[in-house]
Structure 1
Amino acid sequence: MAKKGEPEYRWNSGPFQIGIVPQGGAISRIDWIRPDGQGTINLLRPVTPQALTSGNPSSLGCFPMVPFANRLAFAEFDFDGRIVKVPANRPPSPHAIHGFGRGAEWKIERPTVDTLRFNHKHDDPQSGFVYVAWQEFKVTETDVTIEIGVRHLGRTPMPYGIGLHPWFPGGDDVTVQFIATDCFGTDEDMLPTARTVIDLGRDFSDGKMIRHNLGLDVHYSGWQREADMIWDDAGYSVKMTASETLSNLQFYIPEDGKTFCVEPVSHVPNVHNHPEFKELGDVVVLDRNEALTGTMTLTPSLLAKPVSGLVDDDMVGIPGNRDYSLVD
């Protein structure tokens, strides 16, 4: 646990150590004790002292998105016959991004042996967003599940969306694989403009190395709610699975390739202002005391040595790499 005055709270459960920064409800680390006894692996991007004290959840390993995910055009939308306005929280941009949770102070509840929960309340009667949101870790001997949820407490119904924004370590050896049915074209502000086919440059169904796709920032719908990430040089992989409520995916690779984001979310960005996108991932209207929840599970595994005789990178197996077997 964190000492008084320190920004990071740490919790050990099974083979994992979780780090939380209450400001912004951010996850600073998910350290996995290697089953071969060779130390630990932070499944998220490395955390630095500067990031911990910065007060910026976007500099850490993962942050929550609630009551909407990703971008909301001009920080407003029409709902139930009125214009709902929210803060434009990334100046000088006129748009809102990632909701309110990452700007709030989250309260950590007393953990059990395998469960840790933290939450925050938001009360803005003027916009109509009055809710309690939470994140909850559940740990087993093989995986970590993070639940994000929100319960509406306002007097009148409001539309909600949720998501998680993990940052993973990048590098020249990293491969990502996932399957989706559709993606979106965007404008200069990265707001979706139209549904498009998944062309070769945005197709990760067979796995691709992220270094070949630097600068990619794409929203996918019809995601099969599984993604496989492989760190060849470090010798491990992580499988991400998500609940049905997190049916969409935002995939982002910064230009430097030092990190990347595979973000399970519940809706298309800015669907509030594009009713034609609703069938591809919509927000959920919650009445008083109704809730929306979603889960993301991370399952790490060690990679064994290449299978004897299989040395062709184009052979079937681990996407975009040599055939490996996994070590439990």
Structure 2
Amino acid sequence: MAAISELLSIGSGALEVVLVPQIGGSVSALRWRGIDLMRRLSDDDRKAGNVLGVAMFPMIPYANRIAGNAFDFGARRWQVLPNNPPEKFNVHGSGWQHAWTVTGSGRANATLSLDIAAGAEPYSYRATQAFSVSEEGLSVTMTLTNIGSVALPFGFGLHPWFDRDRDVTMQFNARCFYLEEPDGISGDPISLPPELDFARHRSLPGGWRNNDYGGWGGEATLRFPARGAGLRMRADPIFRHLMLYADPTKPYFCVEPQTNASGAFNRGRWDDPDEGIIVLAQGESAAGTVCFTPFSLEAGAQDGRA
């Protein structure tokens, strides 16, 4: 029987963040004033090492699916492996499926690291997640370095999971909406129609959503009225995309800040800033920070942004 993954707690004031490095370098819980603001990893999922049960995991060295498990870059065809059966296609890269190492920790901060050497897949990389907690909130700085011998396209992001309360609402600004094709593959972007727009707070859609919102403004706000709290997510400009996954049959939903557009590796528009692909030569790095700020609904209403 596998050993139960150890938890690492950091916090400041009313905010507590629990990490589970061995399960994909993930967050196990985000609590503020005793309120869970992300889906908490259950004891059973922790015992099973189930990364799909965590509160948040890293997407690295790219986000979302690669159709056909292959892409063309630098006059070569690069192959990746399916990694989330029964899905056919590789999803979210490899970082979330490895144990990460704690390379630094304190009362209110921790750094997790991961080194991957290319084997059957093309990527050799070093990744770090630096978690810092203050009374204001949690910041997560992701750094990705190409330690391979050739330049390759990269991307990264965070994959938080939230409880689907009946009264939850969401708000964010974006410019376009990527259609979904079979097998979860992202299709063409379209202008954002009013019925798909979250520029004003609205409830989660009643139907299926698994779509990338492009031209994301870098901020998203979730409100959980029954919990008396909300969570504001702010990201550096390198995060141009926000993925929304919402299945009305599931008790959770996901709102995922990411650098690359979903499906970008298959479209091959490497220099298109809207695609958000980061080409890194040997030894080059890219980094970005996402901040999560909890607030009471009363305070959020007063500042006019929640």
Q: TM-score by structure 1 length?
A: 0.86
| TM-aligned CA deviation for residue 93 of structure 1 | 3.0
Q: Give, in whole Å, the separation in 1 of the partners of 2:115 and 2:268.
A: 29
**Residue by residue, what CA displacement relative to the aligned partner does 1:21-53 show, whole Å, maximum 9, x if unpaired?**
222111111122x2xxxxx11221132111212
Change (3 A) 1:48 1:270: same
**For the Cα contact (< 8 Å) 1:214–1:256, is it kept in 2?**
no
Alignment partner of 2:61 out of 58, 67, 72: 67
1:29 matched residue in structure 2: 29
1:87 matched residue in structure 2: 81
Alignment partner of 1:238 out of 225, 231, 234: 231
Compare CA radii of gyration and give the structure with the larger one.
Answer: 1
**Residue by residue, what CA displacement relative to the aligned partner does 1:43-84 show, whole Å, maximum 9, x if unpaired?**
211321112122221211001101110111111101111111
Q: Give, in whole Å, the separation in 2 of the partners of 1:292 and 1:9.
A: 28
Alignment partner of 1:260 out of 253, 257, 276: 253
Alignment partner of 1:8 out of 6, 9, 27: 6
Residue type matched to 1:266 in 2? T
What RMSD over aligned residues (CA atoms) do the two structures have, in Å?
2.0
Q: Give, in whole Å, the separation in 2 of the partners of 1:127 and 1:176.
A: 37
**For the Cα contact (< 8 Å) 2:35–2:227, is it kept in 1?**
no
| TM-aligned CA deviation for residue 276 of structure 1 | 5.0
Alignment partner of 1:223 out of 216, 225, 239: 216
The reply on whether 1:97 has 2:91 as its aligned counterpart is: yes
The 10-residue stretch of structure 1 (194-203 or 124-133) with the greater mean CA deviation from structure 2: 124-133
**For the Cα contact (< 8 Å) 1:128–1:156, is it kept in 2?**
no
**For the Cα contact (< 8 Å) 2:4–2:49, is it kept in 1?**
no
**For the Cα contact (< 8 Å) 2:79–2:122, is it kept in 1?**
no
2:105 aligns to what SS in structure 1? coil
| TM-aligned CA deviation for residue 291 of structure 1 | 0.8
**For the Cα contact (< 8 Å) 1:24–1:57, is it kept in 2?**
yes
1:42 matched residue in structure 2: 36
The reply on whether 1:304 has 2:281 as its aligned counterpart is: no
1:325 matched residue in structure 2: 302
- Residue ranges of structure 1 left out of the alignment (5+ in a row): 35-39, 306-317, 319-323
**Residue by residue, what CA displacement relative to the aligned partner does 1:90-121 show, whole Å, maximum 9, x if unpaired?**
23433110100011111012313432101111
Q: Give, in whole Å, the separation in 2 of the partners of 1:126 and 1:10.
A: 32
Q: Count how many residue pairs are aligned between Structure 1 and Structure 2.
A: 299
The reply on whether 1:134 has 2:128 as its aligned counterpart is: yes
The 10-residue stretch of structure 1 (143-152 or 12-21) with the greater mean CA deviation from structure 2: 12-21
Residue type matched to 1:213 in 2? G
Residue type matched to 2:7 in 1? Y
- Residue ranges of structure 2 left out of the alignment (5+ in a row): none
Aligned-pair identity (%) = 27
Q: Give, in whole Å, the separation in 2 of the partners of 1:193 and 1:18.
A: 36
**For the Cα contact (< 8 Å) 2:244–2:256, is it kept in 1?**
yes
Q: TM-score by structure 2 length?
A: 0.92
The reply on whether 1:18 has 2:17 as its aligned counterpart is: yes
| TM-aligned CA deviation for residue 237 of structure 1 | 1.0
1:52 aligns to what SS in structure 2? helix
